[in-house]
Amino acid sequence: MLVREHLERVPYLSSRFLSMEERSLVAKECIGFDFPAGEVIHISEDGGSIGRGICIILRGTALAMHGKVGNFSERRKRYSIVTAGHTFGVSDVLLEDEHARSSQIGVITFSRVLFIPRKSVLAALE
Give the whole-angstrom CA distance, residue 58 versus residue 5: 11
Give the whole-angstrom CA distance, residue 21 versus residue 43: 27
E strand or H helix at 67, and its extent?
strand 61-68
Every domain of the chain and the residues it spans: 4-125
- CATH topology for the 4-125 domain: Jelly Rolls (2.60.120)
- pLDDT tens digit string along 69-86? 455 555 556 788 999 999
- Which segment, 5-19, 45-59, 63-77, is predicted with the most confidence on average? 5-19
pLDDT score of 58: 94
- pLDDT tens digit string along 97-125? 665 566 788 999 999 999 998 888 888 88
A 10 A CB-CB count for 83 gives 13
Q: Which of 59, 46, 33, 52 is nearest to 114 (CA)?
A: 33
Q: Are 101 and 93 within 8 A, CB to CB? A: yes
